Amino acid sequence: MKRLVDIILKNWLLTALLVSAAMLAIAHGFETFAGLSPCTLCFKQREVYWTAGFLAAAGLVVERIPAGKRFAWLFSLILAAVFAYGLYLAVYHAGAEWKFWPGPAACASGGGHVSMDDLTKMLGKNNIKAPACDQAAWVFAGLSMAGWNALISLGLIVASVLAALRARKAA
């Protein structure tokens, strides 16, 4: 197990890029194959992984430049901050689903001035249902996708910080 952790931390930028791509692929898979439409907070959480993937890819390029290897720790530290924002979004989303606090007015199931009936009548369709940030569309082992994302984000923060410390020592 220690050997696996060492390999992951040594290659953290590549790992972060692959994990970000996997998280985006999983979210897209749920949308495409399970028909789960993302809400506003779901899209914001995806933006975190797009940003992390871009930063990890940029870090991999910089790392290949002779003088750039010494900046690998900085990219890992920035990734930790990006994943921390992702954790914040995921906890906020999960809390809205559990009704601990209200979600954003833009996607709350009870908010807004126009009812779904008004919208469906206007569009002439009866099968339209806007995704709501305060309703979990999928739950596994007691956690929604936002809850699982929070746990994954926490792990990514820890790994990013450990990789940054490791790379800083090596620089």
Encode pLDDT of 141-151 as tens digits: 877 888 889 99
How many domains, in total, are found in the chain? 1
- As a whole number, mean pLDDT of residues 1-22 equals 91
Question: What CATH number corresponds to the domain at position 91?
Answer: 1.20.1550.10
- 3-class SS string, the chain: CHHHHHHHHHCHHHHHHHHHHHHHHHHHHHHHHCCCCCCHHHHHHHHHHHHHHHHHHHHHHHHHCHHHHHHHHHHHHHHHHHHHHHHHHHHHHHHHHCCCCCCCCCCCCCCCCCCHHHHHHHHCCCCCCCCCCCCCCCEECCEEHHHHHHHHHHHHHHHHHHHHHHHHHHC
> Per-residue pLDDT for 124 more than 70?
no
> Per-residue pLDDT for 87 more than 90?
yes
Q: What is the mean pLDDT of the chain?
A: 84
Name the more confident of 169 and 77.
77
**pLDDT given for residue 112 in this prediction:** 47
Put simply, whether the predicted model's pTM sits higher than 0.85 gets the answer: no
How much of the chain exceeds pLDDT 70, in percent? Answer: 80
Identify the domain containing residue 71 by its residue range: 2-170
